[in-house]
Chain A
Amino acid sequence: LIHSRALGVTPEVSVVMPHSLPSLLLQGGTVWKSQAQSEAKSGRTDLIFLIRFRHCCLLRTQRCVLAYLYDRLLRIRALRWEYGSVLPNTIQFHMSAEEVEWFNRYKKSLATYMRSVGGEEGLDLTQDIKPPKSLYIEVRCLRDYGEFEIDDGTTVLLKKNSQHFLPRWKCEQLIRQGVLEHILS
Chain B
Amino acid sequence: MYQHIRFGTYVNIFNTVIPLFLQRVLLLVASDVDALCACKILQALFQCDHVQYTLVPVSGWQELETAFLEHKDQFKYFVLINCGANVDLLEILQPEEDTLFFVCDSHRPINVVNVYNDTQIKLLVKQDDDLDVPAYDDIFRDEEVEEEDSENESDASEPSEKRRRFEEVFKCGGFFSLFRREILFDYEQYEYHGTSSAMVMFDLAWIMSKDLNDMLWWAIVGLTDQWVQDKITQMKYVTDIGILQRHVSRHNHRNEDEENSLSIDCMRIAFEYDLRLALYQHWSLYESLCNTSYTSASLKLWSVQGQKRLQEFLADMGLPLKQVKQKFNSMDMSLKENLREMIEESANKFGMKDLRVQTFSIHFGFKNKFSASDIVYATASLMENIEKEGPETTNFIKALDSLSRGNLDKLHQGLDLAKKQLRAIQQTVASCICTNLVISQGPFLYCSLMEGTPDVKLFSKPVSLCLLSKYLLKSFVCSTKNKRCKLLPLIMAAPMDVEQGTVIMVGIPPETESSDKKNFFGRAFEKAADSTNSRTLHNHFDMSIIELKTEDRSKFLDALISLLS
Contact check, B50 vs A164: say whether CB atoms are below 8 A apart: no
Contact check, B24 vs A161: say whether CB atoms are below 8 A apart: no
With contacts A136-B47, A165-B47 taken as known, whether A154 is within 8 angstroms of B54 at the C-beta atoms is: no
Contact check, B71 vs A157: say whether CB atoms are below 8 A apart: yes
Count, chain B residues at interface, CB 8 A: 25
Provide the bound-state CA to CA distance between A135 and B52, in Å. Answer: 11
Chain B residues, Cβ within 8 Å of A166: 52
Least CB separation from B403: chain A residue: A185
Task: Tell me the minimal C-beta distance from B165 to chain A in angstroms.
Answer: 27
B397 interface contact, C-beta 8 A = yes
Chain B residues, Cβ within 8 Å of A108: none
Chain B residues, Cβ within 8 Å of A140: 397
* 1/0 contact string of B38-77 vs chain A (CB within 8 Å): 0000011011001111111100000000000011011000
Contact check, B391 vs A157: say whether CB atoms are below 8 A apart: no
* 1/0 contact string of B370-400 vs chain A (CB within 8 Å): 0000000000000000000001011011000
Task: Tell me the minimal C-beta distance from B193 to chain A in angstroms.
Answer: 26
A184 interface contact, C-beta 8 A = yes
Chain A residues, Cβ within 8 Å of B397: 140, 161, 163
| Contacts between the two chains (Cβ within 8 Å), count | 54
Task: Tell me the minimal C-beta distance from A103 to chain B in angstroms.
Answer: 33
Interface of A, helix, strand, loop or mixed by DSSP = strand
Contact check, B394 vs A136: say whether CB atoms are below 8 A apart: no
Contact check, A165 vs B43: say whether CB atoms are below 8 A apart: yes
Provide the bound-state CA to CA distance between A161 and B52, in Å. Answer: 17
Among B47, B52, B393, B404, residue most surrounded by chain A Cβ atoms (within 10 Å): B52
Contact check, B46 vs A165: say whether CB atoms are below 8 A apart: yes
Name B47's contact: one of A138, A154, A157, A162 (CB within 8 Å): A138
Contact check, A160 vs B391: say whether CB atoms are below 8 A apart: yes
Q: Which of B8-23 contact A (CB under 8 A)?
A: 22
* 1/0 contact string of A145-171 vs chain B (CB within 8 Å): 000000010111101111111110000
With contacts A138-B43, A140-B397, A156-B74 taken as known, whether A161 is within 8 angstroms of B57 at the C-beta atoms is: yes
Contact check, A184 vs B406: say whether CB atoms are below 8 A apart: yes
Name A162's contact: one of B56, B73, B74, B404 (CB within 8 Å): B56
Contact check, A162 vs B55: say whether CB atoms are below 8 A apart: yes
Contact check, B74 vs A161: say whether CB atoms are below 8 A apart: no
With contacts A160-B393, A185-B406 taken as known, whether A135 is within 8 angstroms of B50 at the C-beta atoms is: yes
Least CB separation from A152: chain B residue: B22
Contact check, A185 vs B52: say whether CB atoms are below 8 A apart: no
Task: Tell me the minimal C-beta distance from A138 to chain B in angstroms.
Answer: 7
Least CB separation from B392: chain A residue: A161
Chain A residues, Cβ within 8 Å of B57: 161
Contact check, A185 vs B404: say whether CB atoms are below 8 A apart: yes
Task: Tell me the minimal C-beta distance from B212 to chain A in angstroms.
Answer: 12
Q: Which of A65-101 contact B (CB under 8 A)?
A: none
* 1/0 contact string of A129-143 vs chain B (CB within 8 Å): 000000110101000
Count, chain A residues at interface, CB 8 A: 20
Name B52's contact: one of A159, A162, A167, A184 (CB within 8 Å): A167
Least CB separation from A183: chain B residue: B401
With contacts A161-B393, A165-B43, A165-B47 taken as known, whether A154 is within 8 angstroms of B55 at the C-beta atoms is: no
Contact check, B53 vs A157: say whether CB atoms are below 8 A apart: no
Chain A residues, Cβ within 8 Å of B46: 165
Provide the bound-state CA to CA distance between A138 and B47, in Å. Answer: 8
Chain A residues, Cβ within 8 Å of B70: 157, 159
Least CB separation from B25: chain A residue: A165
Contact check, B54 vs A156: say whether CB atoms are below 8 A apart: yes
Contact check, A154 vs B24: say whether CB atoms are below 8 A apart: yes
Among B46, B54, B393, residue most surrounded by chain A Cβ atoms (within 10 Å): B54
Task: Tell me the minimal C-beta distance from A145 to chain B in angstroms.
Answer: 13
Provide the bound-state CA to CA distance between A163 and B54, in Å. Answer: 6
With contacts A136-B50, A138-B47 taken as known, whether A157 is within 8 angstroms of B74 at the C-beta atoms is: yes
Chain A residues, Cβ within 8 Å of B404: 185
Provide the bound-state CA to CA distance between A164 and B55, in Å. Answer: 6
Provide the bound-state CA to CA distance between A161 and B497, in Å. Answer: 24
With contacts A136-B52, A161-B396, A164-B53 taken as known, whether A154 is within 8 angstroms of B406 at the C-beta atoms is: no
Contact check, B406 vs A164: say whether CB atoms are below 8 A apart: no
Task: Tell me the minimal C-beta distance from B64 to chain A in angstroms.
Answer: 14
Least CB separation from A166: chain B residue: B52
Least CB separation from B393: chain A residue: A161
Task: Tell me the minimal C-beta distance from B53 to chain A in angstroms.
Answer: 5
Chain A residues, Cβ within 8 Å of B56: 159, 162
Contact check, A161 vs B53: say whether CB atoms are below 8 A apart: no
Task: Tell me the minimal C-beta distance from A32 to chain B in angstroms.
Answer: 58
Task: Tell me the minimal C-beta distance from A160 to chain B in angstroms.
Answer: 6
With contacts A140-B397, A160-B391, A184-B406 taken as known, whether A165 is within 8 angstroms of B51 at the C-beta atoms is: yes
With contacts A160-B391, A160-B393, A185-B406 taken as known, whether A165 is within 8 angstroms of B53 at the C-beta atoms is: yes
Least CB separation from A185: chain B residue: B404
Provide the bound-state CA to CA distance between A136 and B50, in Å. Answer: 7
Chain A residues, Cβ within 8 Å of B391: 160-161
Chain B residues, Cβ within 8 Å of A138: 43, 47
Name B55's contact: one of A152, A155, A163 (CB within 8 Å): A163
Least CB separation from B29: chain A residue: A163
Task: Tell me the minimal C-beta distance from A136 to chain B in angstroms.
Answer: 5
Chain A residues, Cβ within 8 Å of B54: 156-157, 162-165
Chain B residues, Cβ within 8 Å of A164: 52-55
Provide the bound-state CA to CA distance between A136 and B71, in Å. Answer: 21
Provide the bound-state CA to CA distance between A167 and B52, in Å. Answer: 8
Name B74's contact: one of A154, A160, A163 (CB within 8 Å): A154
Chain A residues, Cβ within 8 Å of B47: 136, 138, 165, 185
Provide the bound-state CA to CA distance between A138 and B46, in Å. Answer: 11
Provide the bound-state CA to CA distance between A166 and B51, in Å. Answer: 8
Task: Tell me the minimal C-beta distance from B210 to chain A in angstroms.
Answer: 15
Chain B residues, Cβ within 8 Å of A136: 47, 50, 52
Provide the bound-state CA to CA distance between A135 and B406, in Å. Answer: 22
Chain A residues, Cβ within 8 Å of B24: 154
Binding site for A on B (CB under 8 A): 22, 24, 43-44, 46-47, 50-57, 70-71, 73-74, 391, 393-394, 396-397, 404, 406
Lowest 8 A-B CB distances belong to which pairs?
A161-B393, A163-B55, A164-B54, A165-B53, A161-B397, A136-B50, A162-B56, A165-B52
Between A and B, 25 residue pairs with Cβ closer than 8 Å are A136-B50, A138-B43, A152-B22, A154-B24, A154-B74, A156-B54, A157-B54, A157-B71, A157-B74, A159-B70, A161-B57, A161-B391, A161-B393, A161-B394, A161-B396, A162-B54, A162-B393, A163-B54, A163-B55, A164-B52, A164-B54, A165-B53, A166-B52, A185-B47, A185-B404
Binding site for B on A (CB under 8 A): 135-136, 138, 140, 152, 154-157, 159-167, 184-185
Other 5 A-B pairs with CB < 8 A, given A160-B391, A163-B55, A164-B52: A136-B47, A156-B54, A157-B54, A159-B70, A165-B53
